[in-house]
Amino acid sequence: MSTILVVDDSVFCREVVSHALRYEGYEVYVAANGREALELVQRQAVDFMIVDNEMPEMDGLTFLRFANKLPQWCQIPVIMLTAISDEQKVVTALQLGAVDYLLKPAFSVPKLLERLRKWLPLKELRALSPAERAAVEVCTAVHAPPAVMAPPTVVSSPVPAQAAGTSAGVPAWPKLLTRKETLDRADRITAAKTIAGVVSEIMALANSPRAALSDMVRIIESDPILATRILHLANSAAYSGARTRITSLEDAARNIGSRGILDMAMSVGIFNEFPPDESDGFNSIRCWQHSFAVADLMTLLAPKQESQHGAAQRLTGLCHDLGEILLRQHFTPMYDQILEFSAIHRLPLHEVEATALGVRHPELLGRLLAHMGLPATVMQSIREFHEAQFSGQYADLRPQAMALHVANQLAHGLLLAASTHETVSPISRTQWRSLAGDGPPPLLDIVSKRSEIIASTNVLTRLPAIEEKRLLTPILPRASMRLWYYRPENYVELDPLGCALSFLSDVTISPRLPHEGEWAELDGLVVVGVRAGVAPLIPAALAQACADAQRPELPILALSGQGDPPESDGPLTFRSYPISLRDVYEWIKNSIEEI
C-alpha cells in the first residue's frame, strides 16, 4: 500500500483529496503548509506528495527547494497544485523535481487519480541503480510492466443522484445537516430579527396619501439612531447647500422629504443586519453597496403601473441578498465547505447547498425572510428571483421579480458587486417586454449612476474614511484594451455585460461586426448570442470574419445563451452567459498578454 502526503492550507481541500485517496486504498498523511510537511516527512516515509503552491509560512516552491537538498526526498515524486496559471512558477516547480502540476480551477479528483497512477511508480524506479533502472525500462518497453510498476486497483467512488452527470471518482457530496436541522436553525437565528417597528411604520406612512410629514417626525423621534442619521443627511452636501446648519428634526424632514426619510429608515434597519467582513473574502461593505444599488436601479426599471409601490420595490432591492447574508453569519462552517466543494469540482453552488443542507436555496431563503416582517409582495418577489436563479429560467417572472433580476445584473455591470464571482449577461428584448411591455429601456449614464450610488451609500451609512475608500475603489481594475462588442438587435441597449466591458476596457458596442478599416485598431472582440450550427454567428463564420480582416489571431470571447457552448479553439474562447466578472476580466488580461 502506497503512502501519500497531501500538503494544502485549505482544510476542505485536504479533506476532499485525502478522502478520495483513502477510498482508493492509499495511506494518507496531511500537512497545512511546507513547514509542517518538512517536519512530518522526517518522521514518516512517504511514496508520493501532492503539494499546493500558495500556502502561508512556507509555500510549495520553498518546500521543494528544501526537499531537493535531501537525497531521500529526491526520490519522492511530487504533483504541484496551483490556483493560477503562472508559467514561470510551473517551470520552477519542474526544475525543482516536481513531475507534474494541476491547476486548481480545472481540478477534479478523477484527473488527480489519473496523474497519481501515472507517476507513483516513479519512486520505485528512481530508487534503483542506473543498471537496474535501464533493465526495468527495457522490460517495460518489451513486456508487461514489472510488479513495481503496477498501479493500485481503481474503484470509483459512488456519486449521489444529485451529482448525476459529474465525473466518476468524485467523493460523495457533503451532507452536513438534515432538512429538519437546517430549518430549525433558520427559525432560531431569525427569531429575534425583524424589520418591523420604525421601518414598517415609515413605509406605511410613505405610501399613505393622507400622511403628514409631522407624523414621520414623531416616529423618527422614537429612534435615536435614525434621528441622528436624518440630521446628518439633511446637513450633507447633497441637501444643505449654502444654508445654515439644520438642528431640528422638523426642518431636517422638510429638507430631505419623505423619500429621503424612507431611504434612511430602510438603510439603518437593514444595514445593521450585515455581518462584519469574514476570512473567506466576503466584503460586507461591497455587499451593502450592491444591495443599495439594486434598490436604486429597481425604481428606475419599475413599470409605470406599479410606480405607487416604490417603497416596496426599494425594500425588495435592499433585502434580496439578506437571506444569504444570514446564511453566511449563522451557517459559516457549513457554508465554507459548500463553497469550497463547489469550486474544487466546478459544480453549481445551489445544487451542492441543497444536498449539504437538505433544503433548496429558495425555500431556505423564504424561511429566513419570513421572520423578518417583510411585506408579502417583497418576500414573493425575492423568492421568485432566487427560484429563477436556481433553475436558470427567467421567462415566467412577474414584473417586480424581473425588475429585481435586471437590476441585480445591472448593479454587477456597474461593478457594484459583492465579489468578482457575480455574473453579468445581456438582456434580451423578450425579457424586457416581460418587465415593461413595449416601452423602451430607460437611458442610463452608467458613470454618473455609479458615482451617484456610491455617494448615496456613503451618506446613508456614515462610513469612516477607510471604508469610503474601499467603496470608491472598483472591484476590478481597468485594462488598457480596445474591444469591439458585437451585440445583435435582439438584445436591448440597457446591457449589464456592456456596462462591465465599458468599465473594464475601451469598448465599442455595435449591432454589427467591425468594418474593414476598424479591425486593425482592435485588441479583442466580444460576441454575444453564439449558437453552434446556427447562422450567422456560428464559430466558423467568426473565424472566417477574422481571417478575411487579416486578424486570424485576434482574441475573441463568444458567449452563448442557449445550450452548451462549443469547444474553445485557438483565439476563440467560448463561454455561456451569465458570465462572472472574474472570467471576463481574466479573458481581457490573458488577451493582453497574448497581444
* Arithmetic mean of pLDDT, 134-151: 35
User: Which class is domain 179-472?
Assistant: mainly alpha
Q: Is the pLDDT of residue 505 over 90?
A: yes
* 404 against 455, higher pLDDT: 404
Query: Which range has the worst mean pLDDT, 120-134, 508-522, 559-573?
Result: 120-134
Element housing 557 (H / E): strand 556-560
Let me know if 151 is exposed, middle or buried by CB neighbors in 10 A (0-12, 13-18, 19+).
Answer: middle
pLDDT of residue 464: 62
The predicted-structure confidence for 546-577, as pLDDT tens digits, reads as follows: 888 888 889 999 888 766 666 777 788 888 88
Whether pLDDT at 356 is above 70: yes
Q: What is the dihedral of CA 37, 42, 45, 50, to 10 degrees?
A: 20
Which is higher by pLDDT, 141 or 272? 272
Position 169 scores a pLDDT of: 47
Band (pLDDT 50/70/90 cuts) for residue 196 is very low
- pLDDT average, residue stretch 573-588: 90
Q: What is the mean pLDDT of residues 406-425?
A: 92
Contact 405, 388 (CB under 8 A): yes
Residues 295 and 382: their CA atoms lie apart, in Å, by 12
Residue 510: the pLDDT is: 93
Please state, in angstroms and as integers, the Cα–Cα distance from residue 48 to each residue in 11, 30, 40, 99, following that order.
20, 12, 13, 11
Mean pLDDT of all residues in 60-74: 76
Residue 104: pLDDT above 80? Answer: no
Which residues does residue 424 pair with via DSSP β-bridges, in sequence order? 579
Q: Does residue 405 carry a pLDDT above 90?
A: yes
Q: Which residues contact 196 (CB under 8 A, 6 or more apart)?
A: 373
pTM of the model: 0.62
Between residues 560 and 345, which one has the greater pLDDT? 560
pLDDT at 160: 37
- Delimiting residues of CATH 3.40.50.280 domain(s) in the chain: 482-594
Give the three cell numbers for residue 95.
Answer: 526544475
* Percent of all residues in the chain with a pLDDT value above 70, rounded to a whole number: 68
CATH code for residues 3-158: 3.40.50.2300
> Residue 416: pLDDT band by 50, 70, 90 thresholds?
very high
Q: What is the pLDDT of residue 305?
A: 42
Q: What per-residue confidence (pLDDT) applies to 394?
A: 77
Q: Of 195-209, 294-308, 571-585, which one has max mean pLDDT?
A: 571-585
C-alpha triplet 366, 370, 373: angle, nearest 5°: 145
Give CA separation, 391 vs 358, 385, 395, 397, 559, in Å: 17, 10, 11, 12, 19
- Tell the burial category of 410 from Cβ atoms under 10 Å away from its Cβ (0-12, 13-18, 19+): buried
Mean pLDDT of 157-176: 50
pLDDT of residue 1: 67
Q: Going by CATH, does the domain composed of 482-594 fall within 3.40.50.280?
A: yes
Concatenating the DSSP letter of every residue in 315-368 gives HHHHHTTHHHHHHHHHSHHHHHHHHHHHHHHT--HHHHHHHHHSS-HHHHHHHH
pLDDT in tens, 204-242: 666 566 667 777 777 776 665 566 667 766 776 666 554
pLDDT at 415: 94
- DSSP, res 147: G
Instruction: Locate 438 and state its grid cell.
Output: 413595449
Residue 286 has pLDDT above 70, yes or no: yes
Could you give the residue range(s) of every CATH 1.10.3210.10 domain in the chain? Answer: 179-472
Q: How far apart are CA 458 and CA 464, in angstroms?
A: 9
At 68-93, the pLDDT tens digits run 776 666 678 888 887 655 666 777 78
- The C-alpha cell at 160 is 449521489
pLDDT band at 366 (very low <50, low <70, confident <90, very high): confident
Report residue 530 as a C-alpha cell: 453564439
